[in-house]
Structure formats: C-alpha cells, structure tokens
Structure 1
C-alpha cells in the first residue's frame, strides 16, 4: 500500500484579496476499510500559511475537511516559485484514538510506519492576484493562467482593460480573451492602439471588439499608421477620419500636435480634412506650428489651405509659432514657412524688389510654393515683374518648376503676354517644350515672335 488517504484535489486554491484574511478548505478521505488513519499536515512556509488541524484522525472510509489560512494579510499576494505546498503524511492508528501529544510524537519519528500520501500545491488565485501579475515585468505565465481561472467574466473583462492600459504582452491579452473576457462589452480598441500592439488590436477585432470615435486619435498620438491601415481595412465606413474628440480635434490635429507626418498623410489620403478647426479655432497647422514640427508644417501647407486661418483669439499659425518659439532654432524655419514665404509671394507679385531681397535675406525659400503650387517666380512671371524675376533667378529660383497644373513660369509669362519676361526666362534655360499647345493667344503670338526673330532668344 502506497497511501492511506486520498486528497480531493491536487492543489489548494486560495482566493487572495488585498488586506483581508484569506483561507481555503480542502478534504482528505481515509482509504482504509477497517482502520483509522492519523494525519499530519505541514506547509513549506509556516510563517505565511497555517492549517486549522495540523494533526487529526480520520475514521475508516470517512472524510475530513481542513482549512488553510494565509497568516498575514497584505497588499500583494505572496507568490513563490516553486509555489508553496501542503505535505500530507499519514500513519495507521489501530486504536482509533490518540491525544495530540501522542500524534505529534508519532510523526516526529521517521520510519516505515509513516506514509507520504500527497503534496498539495498552494495556488493563489483571483482578480487581485491577476492584477498584481499584470503590473509586473515579466509576468509569470503559470501563475497568471492559474489566477484567472478563478475569475468571473466581468472580472476578466476588467483585467483585460487593465492589461491593455499597462501594455501587457500579447500572450496576456490572449489568455484573458480565451478565459472568457468580453471584448465587446466596451470599446477596448483605443487602449490596444495606445499600447502599440498591432497583435492585440487584431486579437480584439477577432473577438468582436468595436471601435469608438477616439480610436484614430490614439493611433495618431502613437504614430501607428499600421494600426490605422488595419482598422480601415476591417471596419471600413464605420471608421470616420474626421471624427472629433470632446475638444473638437480630429486625428489629424493630434498627429500635427505630435509631428507625425506619415499619419497626417495617411489620414488625408483616406479623406480626412486637414482644414478643420477645433473648438478654440485651431487647425492642424496651428498645432504643428505650436509644436515646432517643421516637417509637419510643410506637409500641412501642401495639403491644406489654412495658412491665414485665425483662432478665436485672432492668432494665425505664424502667430502661435512666434509666441512659442521666440528664441528657438526652429523659429527661422517656421517664419520662412508661415510668414516670409507669403511675404515673398506678395513682394514678387507687386515687383517690390527691396521686399523680395529682404524676404530672401530673412531665409524665405526662393522655390517655396503656395496652395496652388505656384512659386514666387510663377507670380512674378505672370504679373510681368521683370525686376523681381531677375532677383529671383539670381538667388537660385528654379526656372522650369511646375505648378499643380503642370505650368512653368514661362507658361505664365506667355499666357499673360509678357514677352520680355519670357525672353529673360529662356535666357536662363527655360524649356519651350509644349509651348505651342498652351491655350492662349498671347502664347501663340509669343511663339510667332520666335519664328520671325530666331535670334531674339537673348536680351541685350
């Protein structure tokens, strides 16, 4: 015979609660048909766990219940690896009766009369244990799966939310979903996106998780275009790229605030409007300028038309940039993009040569573009401002740069009939390709001029 009693289970599960007395009951059954059995119960960590009946007697074919107590309540579960355990030792007791001192002496003497019937693992389980493990790095997978086995569905759902907030490994999210956490109970998708785990996003979507109006905001803040692409593919029209948060900001506002250019470009490509203003009147350009994100400012200037938009306090994007970056190294670049670029365009249009030189001296881009793709050279050529054309060319203006419609400065000069400007551009290498097809009588007259005066392609 290798054992005298049988344990009801191989482990003792203790539902742990913070700062509370915790206990668990387990049962042992005497397998002997005619003889009582003496039982001794010890724990591997007596300072943490105690048993109400360390010595007892079980009559033949009877059962007895025992209670394991966590001795000291605490904020954290006293987990150990390997886990603590209860050792069950037994001895046959022909008399069926014995005082406690006799039992103590009986089990203090080793020998063939003693049996080691079982070692019962002590498992700390429940939501408090699982929550503690979620906060740890790294987590013990065995402890965690055991802990959540004693959790209800609402508890599992709450733990799933906590795991996503903590950025827990994908395996933790998968374990909770497999155990019964309800991904559809509330929109957990923004938490998964914020945590930066595309795998968690996919796990939630596969489990029926829905989305809300802030999911794209979280993706924008985290610079996760991969999550945006996945959500757009899975949720389709349900995903609104112009959805606003409680302050009227869209995902493009958030991306601009953080300087995430790829997110801005993706949102715009999906139909997001970069011109929208939030409740305080700030456009994405305001946010990019305030944050000093030069590349985001450049991106928004190309895809939006709100450089002059004012907030509720009358401030443009340039105003907030000047306010925030008065002594910053990015100030000159922002000034170029948001102020001197416009000033250069205006000076070129009215042939303010001094203004053109001042803007260029302040750092304005000679080949900067407006919302239609026109450079300062386009404007000066179209208006026939030959002095400004000369200054711009001397400062490196690209003579064959094209606007959004494919027109070069030479096209603009020809369309407006400014022959001398056209000749100046050609003398600087402007291409005459496709000029014949330009839809304007002046352009045809211009072409005829070269047919009659082939040597007039230079200026005296």
Structure 2
C-alpha cells in the first residue's frame, strides 16, 4: 500500500478491534476492583485479628507492608489492637517489624502503649527494636505505668535511661504520671540514673513534686541518699 494512502479496514476488523479494546478496559476495571477489595479485606483482617483470612490474602500476593491512609502497616494495626495471631501471620510473610507510622510509632510501641502484653512480648521475642531516636517502647510503658512489660523490655535490652524528645527518661515519665509501682521497679535497677534533667530543667523527683506525687518524690530522694548522690544541679532557662 502506498505510504500516502490511508489504510482501509473493513467494518469487521474495526468491530474486532473495538471489542478487544473494550475487553481490555473491562479487565483493567475488574483488576482494579479486585485490588481495592483485597486492600480493604487485608486492613479488616489485620484489625479484627482474622489470621486465616489474612494469611490467604498474603498467599494471593497482598503486600504484607500495606499501609492505611494514616501510614499504619498491617502489622501496626494488628499490634495496636492486640491481635497476636495476625501479628504472627504477618511476620511469617516478612512484614517490616520496625516500620514506624507518620507519628513515629512502631508495632511494639503501640502494643505497649495499649497494654497488649501477649502481643508486645511476641514482638520483643521476634526482635522488634527497643532503642531508637525519639520515643521508644519503654517510654510508652513508663507513661502508662505498664509494670508487667517493664521487666520484659529491660531484660531484652531496653535502655532504662533513654531520653525522649523532651529529654525525659522513663523514670521521669513514670514519676510525673504517678506510677509508683513502675518507679519502684526502676529504682531497684542500679543502672537507673536519678539526677538527669529534662528539657525544662526538672529531675524526676522535681517533676513528681510539680504534679503532687510527693510519695514518689520521697522514694527517689531516699534512693539518691542511699546511693550517696548529691542533689541534682538546677538548670534555669532564661528567655
């Protein structure tokens, strides 16, 4: 055919091509719908703890590190709600155990924060990070007074003196919030430092007093005396 002449196609050929294009478009729509359905099903299975359904979706190719609109992975959602079986299923498919959402929270951090002891212990044994920049699992345990998890975290290697973004240590957070049992456990650990100051220049006992937790302040002061430590230096910020 001459290159300057348009190609002439029969009505039958044109119809066949239109049918093929329509079929491809329909398949694409069906595929998109299927993916959207699998995405929603995976989020639902993780939050409800349906490990069997979740495993089936993962076998079919759903990404174990799928995230929701808030940046929470399936593992974070399962851990946050204490769904240990779902957590186990996701780790079997190599979900990122230390992934942190937009707020900086990991699966272990949220399990600790909400007091899901079995889930937290499973993640600890699986090798979840204990020490990191910013907030860490032990800070959340101290803030909420999760005594049952304190020993597990410390035994696994959590730093009892790790500074939070506001320079508060676990002892400071527990003292501030009135968790006397948690404070007692920390004071029994010889590695716990007593004279650290937060970003406001307050020590653990000073912060306790500021929040009227006088019994906790007295415990810290008594332990400082027992160790033969001087009172902490006062830091005053002048603006």
SS at match of 1:279: coil
Q: Rate the CA distance shift 1:270–1:371 in 2: closer, same or farther, 3 A.
A: farther
Give the superposition deviation at 1:178.
Answer: 1.6
Deviation readout 1:358-417 (Å, 9 max, x if unpaired): xxxxxxxxxxx5499xxxxxxxxxxxxxxxxxxxxxxxxxxxxxxxxxxxxxxxxxxxxx
Matches within 5 A, 1:279-294: 279-294=165-180
Highest RCO, 1 vs 2 (Cα 8 Å, sep ≥ 6): 2
2:158 maps to which of 253, 267, 272: 272
TM-score between the two structures when normalised by the length of structure 1: 0.37
CA RMSD in angstroms comes to 2.7
Task: Give, in whole Å, the separation in 2 of the partners of 1:216 and 1:308.
Answer: 29
Give the superposition deviation at 1:341.
Answer: 4.5
Task: Give, in whole Å, the separation in 2 of the partners of 1:371 and 1:153.
Answer: 65
Equivalent residues of 1:184, 1:207 under 8 A apart? no
Q: Rate the CA distance shift 1:253–1:230 in 2: closer, same or farther, 3 A.
A: same
Q: Rate the CA distance shift 1:370–1:189 in 2: closer, same or farther, 3 A.
A: farther
2:65 maps to which of 175, 184, 187: 184
Q: Rate the CA distance shift 1:225–1:371 in 2: closer, same or farther, 3 A.
A: farther
1:152 maps to which of 34, 46, 52: 34
Pair 1:242 & 2:135 matched = no
2:216 maps to which of 318, 334, 356: 334
**What is the aligned partner in structure 1 of residue 119 from structure 2?**
227
**Count of matched residue positions in the alignment of Structure 1 and Structure 2:** 184
**What is the aligned partner in structure 1 of residue 108 from structure 2?**
216
Give the superposition deviation at 1:261.
Answer: 1.4
Task: Give, in whole Å, the separation in 2 of the partners of 1:298 and 1:287.
Answer: 13
Equivalent residues of 1:224, 1:263 under 8 A apart? no
Give the superposition deviation at 1:289.
Answer: 0.8
Task: Give, in whole Å, the separation in 1 of the partners of 2:174 and 2:162.
Answer: 14
Equivalent residues of 1:177, 1:183 under 8 A apart? no
Give the superposition deviation at 1:291.
Answer: 1.1
Identify, as 1 or 2, the structure richer in strand: 1
Task: Give, in whole Å, the separation in 2 of the partners of 1:287 and 1:255.
Answer: 9
1:195 maps to which of 81, 92, 101: 81
**What is the aligned partner in structure 2 of residue 310 from structure 1?**
197
Give the superposition deviation at 1:154.
Answer: 4.4
Task: Give, in whole Å, the separation in 2 of the partners of 1:193 and 1:271.
Answer: 20
Deviation readout 1:128-186 (Å, 9 max, x if unpaired): xxxxxxxxxxxxxxxxxxxxxx952344224422554xx42x33x53254244332345
Pair 1:174 & 2:52 matched = yes
Larger Rg: 1
SS at match of 2:188: helix
Deviation readout 1:219-255 (Å, 9 max, x if unpaired): 2212334323323444x4xx321024xxx11111110
Pair 1:259 & 2:115 matched = no
1:295 maps to which of 159, 173, 181: 181
SS at match of 1:152: helix
Q: Rate the CA distance shift 1:231–1:322 in 2: closer, same or farther, 3 A.
A: same
Q: Rate the CA distance shift 1:371–1:205 in 2: closer, same or farther, 3 A.
A: farther
Equivalent residues of 1:301, 1:371 under 8 A apart? no
